[in-house]
Amino acid sequence: MNITTIQNGFNFNNADYLFEGEIEVISESQCHVPTNNGIILLDLTCTINDVDYTDINLFVEALKS
Amino acid sequence: MGVDVNITGDYLKNGISAINPSVIALSAANGTVVTGTTAETISRSLLVPANTFSTNGMLEIFMRTSKTGTLGALTTRIYRNSSASLTGATLLGNIGSGSNLFQQGIRTFRINSNSITGIQTSSVIQSDYQALNNAPFSTTFTTSVDNFIIFAVQLGNASDSAVIEMARLVKYV
């Protein structure tokens, strides 16, 4: 599934989420993202703005950009 | 809108039990054994069918994890998602995270106005019968659609193995 970045957050599965805290990397492929609607688990199976990532740290940086 | 059926004292309304409390879903068989990875992995998921809750109610979630091996830590978390997938799932609770071979925990959530509220997810504890200075957390729980409650485990060392031995969802309305 694709994640589309928006100002101070992202759109995923037709819902907007706004960041509320620091993203935590929990494994080599997964992260916990604190948002206004709870902590969401995102992983490298997702694309960000239609771009694939294989490094979770680069994935997190792209999510925040 | 369906047929109300009374069978030997049981009562079904539109195919969903109206007994209070009632078991929504239960499994006492081992879920998927997680080993060979340190990624958070689904061991068991249970379905809360659409319209199990109408306006408000309580959802009690119970689970047990067991681990084989002592090379690393064990973490058990509970999530909610519209499908049986961790991708995009919302964290509901962290039952335990440590050098444990056994983690058994319970959470009671309030379902109200298409939201689910409970003890803050930062609380890594087995029971939410607590008095804390944190406000309850809240996230979306649309009652008119299927919701999956996901029980996931994460190993600190991939050579260990862990499994959700049993899990149960109970409804109070």
B145 touches chain A (CB under 8 A): no
- The pLDDT score that the predictor gives to residue B18 is 62
- The pLDDT score that the predictor gives to residue B6 is 44
Q: Which tops the pLDDT comparison, B10 or B21? A: B21
Average pLDDT for chain B: 91
The partner residue sitting opposite A37, judged by closest CB among B79, B140, B154, is B140
Confidence of residue B55 (pLDDT cuts 50, 70, 90): confident
Is the complex ipTM higher than 0.90?
Answer: yes
Nearest residue in chain B measured CA to CA from A32: B91
By the 8 A CB rule, do B148 and B61 touch? no
Residues 6+ apart with CB under 8 A from B133: none
Report how far residue B90's alpha carbon sits from residue A42's, in angstroms, rounded to the nearest whole number: 10
A53 touches chain B (CB under 8 A): no
CA distance A23 to chain B (A): 13
pLDDT tens by residue, B101-121: 999 999 999 999 999 999 999
Q: Which residues of A touch B140 (CB under 8 A)?
A: 37-38
- The pLDDT score that the predictor gives to residue B157 is 98
What percent of chain B stands above pLDDT 70?
Answer: 90
Cα-to-chain-centroid distance, residue B75: 14
